[in-house]
């Protein structure tokens, strides 16, 4: 039986060799699939205005100024983590991490014409994956490298704290 809990969470991404640090503190819904598998659903804040220009509102398209929330969906187990972001129609991504394995990080960019989109596929190597807490998870720490062909694009730590 699928059970769910509303929990405050803190999700952060930090680079070990680049000036990158991003933290989201919000409420999330934790779904328990079975004893070791969980889904966590939360809303991601929009990019900073200097990263993504505000859409213009016109008489022909009065709703173009409003954006839907970006949804982050994490599928968590002690062996594998999948994180998917979707929502506003411009940028989506999906990461697959499994300890000691080269996984896939895929990004999709979509323009205003819904028929045209581009994707970028990178590899990630998961150095460590640690899930703590029973019966519900309390924290997740994931260390990984991001790769494009033979070029390393950085080392990262994804950290998730679920407050009970």
- Prediction pTM value: 0.81
Q: How many whole angstroms separate alpha carbon 89 and alpha carbon 104?
A: 21
Confidence of residue 71 (pLDDT cuts 50, 70, 90): confident
Q: What percent of the chain lies above the pLDDT cut of 90?
A: 63
| pLDDT tens figures, 87-127 | 666 788 999 999 999 999 999 887 666 566 678 999 999 99
**pLDDT reading at 60 higher than 50:** no
Write down the pLDDT at residue 58: 42
**pLDDT reading at 77 higher than 80:** yes
Domain extents in the chain: 3-45+68-162
- Domain range 3-45+68-162, CATH architecture: Beta Barrel (2.40)
Cα–Cα distance list, 157 to 39, 85, 128, 142 (Å): 20, 18, 9, 6
């Amino acid at each position: 039986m699928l059970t769910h809990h509303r929990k405050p969470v803190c999700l952060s991404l930090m680079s070990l060799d680049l000036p990158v640090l991003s933290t989201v503190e919000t409420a999330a819904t934790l779904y328990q699939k079975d004893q070791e598998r969980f889904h966590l659903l939360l809303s991601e804040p929009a990019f900073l205005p200097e990263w993504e220009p505000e859409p213009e509102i016109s008489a022909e398209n009065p709703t173009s100024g409003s954006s839907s929330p970006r949804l982050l969906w994490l599928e968590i187990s002690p062996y594998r983590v999948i994180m998917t972001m979707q929502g506003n129609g411009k940028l989506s991504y999906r990461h697959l991490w499994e300890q000691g394995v080269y996984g896939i990080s895929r990004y999709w960019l979509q323009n205003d014409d819904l028929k045209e989109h581009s994707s970028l596929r990178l590899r990630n190597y998961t150095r460590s994956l640690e899930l703590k807490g029973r019966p519900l998870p309390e924290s997740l720490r994931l260390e990984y490298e991001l790769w494009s062909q033979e070029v390393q694009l950085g080392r990262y730590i994804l950290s998730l704290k679920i407050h009970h």
